[in-house]
Every structure is written in structure tokens, then in C-alpha cells.
Structure 1
């Protein structure tokens, strides 16, 4: 339950985070490091060598192009935004890997490996997404997912975390009203802001996987500032900057 809402919450947010302050130092997403090995392990390119890989929610295509350039047999980039897919196609062409990269809004070919990066906390219905992912894999295929920060992290509200845990202190209504001062998309709740925020916790993710066609092969958390104590289960919800996991299909 949020502590501050209504008119007071809105006015405090306007004072704490005035219009556009949140964008002042935002990186250019087209220049961002894909961090594939940091997210999925130093052996990632060995895993994908010669394999068909789906980049689920490929965005601007950086990871897909990098995987194609580092040994993947074929990379299928999936995204619902056609304008981003055009950027992806141009990027693949300039990198000389357009013969191994295919960008589309849907896929019929099943993959050996499905990659999901920085996405699970944004899906409106992550349980439904897990079922869709299962249908995109070969019987012995698997998912490598990395996402975060999750909801109880100090910055788990992403844009709404104007200071640590602000998204838990202020009500959703006050935060959405504050956002409307600089975003004109008509969003009325966390789930329908651009990109979406589903308030996912690690425990909820584990529950959703248990109810899905998948099982968790392994799950690892990356603690804030490398503080090992924050990997402990009682603390990981509040202290995990990143969640990484491998999901395989149940037999």
C-alpha cells in the first residue's frame, strides 16, 4: 500500500522531479552496449554456434546482429513495432549479416534457443508470454532470460523511481498523473505506459514459470554493487539488480 497519494503525492513529485528531469542523462539506446556475455554467460557464443536463435523483443536489433556476427546459424528478431524492425534490418545490412538475420512480428520456425533480455518486467501478461515462448522452441530448446530490476528493487519502478523505492511510497495514481505532465500517451496505469511495468517480483516469476510449460534449470541474481549478502533469498527481492535464468521445456 502506497504511503502518499492524491494531490499531495502529485505536488511532491512535481517538486522532487520537475518536467523532463528524468531524461536529462538518458543514454541513446542505439549506442547502448548489448552486454550479451554479461547477461547470459561467457560461453553464450559457443552455445549459439550454428543454432537457430530467436531474440524475443529484439528492439533495435543490437543483440540479434551481434549473435549473427558471432556464430549463430540464424537469428530471428521478434518485435511488435514495425518501425523498430526497419531499424534492425538496416543495422543487419550495415553489419553484413542480413543473410543470417530475419526481423518480423511473428515467427513460424522453431528455434534451438530463445533469448529474452530486459523484457519480463515489462510484459503485460508474462504468464501468457511464457506459453508463447514454449510454442516457438524445438522440443529440446531452451530460454535464456535476463531482466531487472524487479519491482521491489530500489529502482524497480524504472521511470517512476525518482528516488529509491519512490514507486512504493507514492500511489500509482499520483505517479501516473505526474508522468502525464511530460508524456502525452494517455496511460492510466503502470501496465499501459510505454514499455509497460507489470510489478513483477522474483517470487512471482518463479510461480509463473512453475505454472507454465517450462521448468527452471538455473536462476541466478546479480546483487546491487556485488554485495554477496543480497543474494540470500530473504534479501534478493530488494537487492537484485538483475535476474538471469535458463528455462527448459517440461518433459
Structure 2
């Protein structure tokens, strides 16, 4: 994808973008109430009721801010934060101790414990193998559990290229090679593809996410898209790929959804 490449493409990028966008840098620590508001917005206010009294896995917990926010939102829940980077886990443990929540928030690279709820926040556009992640999640979930997912913007959104979106849809106009060469002026980490930059970008689209879930042991109970503010028309299925700032959904084990459907049909027959 992309039509502007080579030396010409790189020179254009270096002219219009002399530095990396701020969104490429590690986010500054935010106040706890700001994190709370961000999570509440991401899940449409559904999270607190879903977590009450539950064992929760925060899949891709980063430095622990969201895990701590969830523990505060539902005082009787217990949160296990999972991440693959030791530096994040160390910082998360420090945060939990500072917040006085070390007894209800633990952090590790993996766990054998099954959860009532798995939460994935701002991560599915970064996983190198989303299908493998869905399979791992299904193994970590109790038979009647649920996965709550929120991520975005997705790839075809004006800023779906994250740091590569130096202006709307720049990540689609320029070739991957040109964008990587431009980035190399600021980050000498050897990345050659979008998926190799810090955090990774897998270029996922909404329809692709739905196909991956269909191929996994999980199934979509509900899915909704949140369009660019003020443009509700972008909720339409034909336009959602280009205007969805956020995708949020509830996934359940496929067998659980099938059982639920059978029960609902039986109830319908009894009521008819």
C-alpha cells in the first residue's frame, strides 16, 4: 500500500515532518482520574458492572495504570496484569504498591489462573499475531467468562498509522519503506517494517478482526464502532473502516454462545 516512495517520498516526509509526532513517545504519566475517564470512555461505561466481584486479567497491562484503575472502579475485584516487557511489569508493581493495591493487583508475564473477565485495552492493533492472542485468551478464560476488547483507531482511519500519520492518511499515501526510512532519522532501532517498530502496528481492519474472531475459539456477542466525533454517519458498515476511532466488543467462548442461543430458543418456544 502507498504510492509515494523512494527518495522523493522520503524527501517529502522529511520536509513536512521534521520530527516524530508526539504520539510516538512514551506517554507522560497521567492523573488517576484521567485514566479512569479514558477507560470508562473506551468501554462505554460497562466496565464497572462487568468486573464486580470477578477475577480479571488485564491482557497487555503496560505500566499498570489501567489495571489499577479497574481495581479502583470495582473494589471487590482482583486484577492480574499480563505483559511481555519486564520494565512495564516492574513499574506496574511500583504503581500498585504506591496506590495501596498490591494485594488486589498482581503483574506477571504469564499465569495459570483462569479469569472471569479478560480486558484488552488499546492493544489489538499492535499484536503481531492477533489470532494467536485470541486463542491464548480463550485458554485463560473460565467456561462462562467474557473478553472485553477496546482498540483503535484502526488502519484505515485518518490517523490509523499512529506515529506514521504525520497528516491524515499519510500512512496510506506513502510506502512502508519510505515511512520507515523517515522514522530511522529519529529512531535507530533497526526496524524495517511497521510490525517491528516499538509497540508494533499490524494494520488490522475491523472486518479482519471479525474474521479472526470467527476463526478463533471465541465469538462476538456484540460489537460496536465509535466514529470520529460529530460524524455518526460513519457508523454505517460501508464507512466504518474509514471513520472508526474506536472498536469495542464483548467476546465469549463459542460453545457458551451456542448454549445461550439454544436456551433463548427454548424460552421463546415456551413463551409462544
* TM-score class normalised by the smaller sequence: over 0.9
- After superposing the two structures, state which structure 1 stretch, 32-41 or 5-14, moved more: 32-41
SS at match of 1:220: strand
Deviation at 1:227, TM superposition (A): 1.4
**Which residue in the other structure is 2:5 paired with?**
5
1:90 to 65, 90, 94: 94
User: TM-score, with normalisation over the residues of structure 2?
Assistant: 0.89
- The separation in 2 between residues aligned to 1:9 and 1:238, in whole angstroms, is 23
| Number of residue pairs matched by the alignment | 250
Gap change, CA 1:177 and 1:103, over 3 Å in 2: same
- The separation in 2 between residues aligned to 1:72 and 1:227, in whole angstroms, is 38
SS at match of 2:168: coil
Would you say the 8 A contact 1:78–1:104 is kept in 2? yes
- The separation in 2 between residues aligned to 1:12 and 1:247, in whole angstroms, is 43
Establish whether residue 202 from structure 1 lines up as the match of residue 201 from structure 2: no
Deviation at 1:190, TM superposition (A): 0.3
Deviation at 1:237, TM superposition (A): 0.2
**Which residue in the other structure is 2:125 paired with?**
121
Is the radius of gyration larger for structure 1 or structure 2?
2
Matches within 5 A, 1:93-112: 93-112=97-116
Give ranges in structure 1 of 5+ residues lacking alignment: none
- After superposing the two structures, state which structure 1 stretch, 223-232 or 63-72, moved more: 63-72
- The separation in 2 between residues aligned to 1:90 and 1:38, in whole angstroms, is 26
SS at match of 1:195: coil
Q: What is the root-mean-square deviation in Å for CA atoms of aligned residues?
A: 1.5
**Which residue in the other structure is 1:43 paired with?**
46
User: TM-score, with normalisation over the residues of structure 1?
Assistant: 0.96
- The separation in 1 between residues aligned to 2:101 and 2:147, in whole angstroms, is 23
Gap change, CA 1:63 and 1:233, over 3 Å in 2: same
- The separation in 1 between residues aligned to 2:236 and 2:29, in whole angstroms, is 35
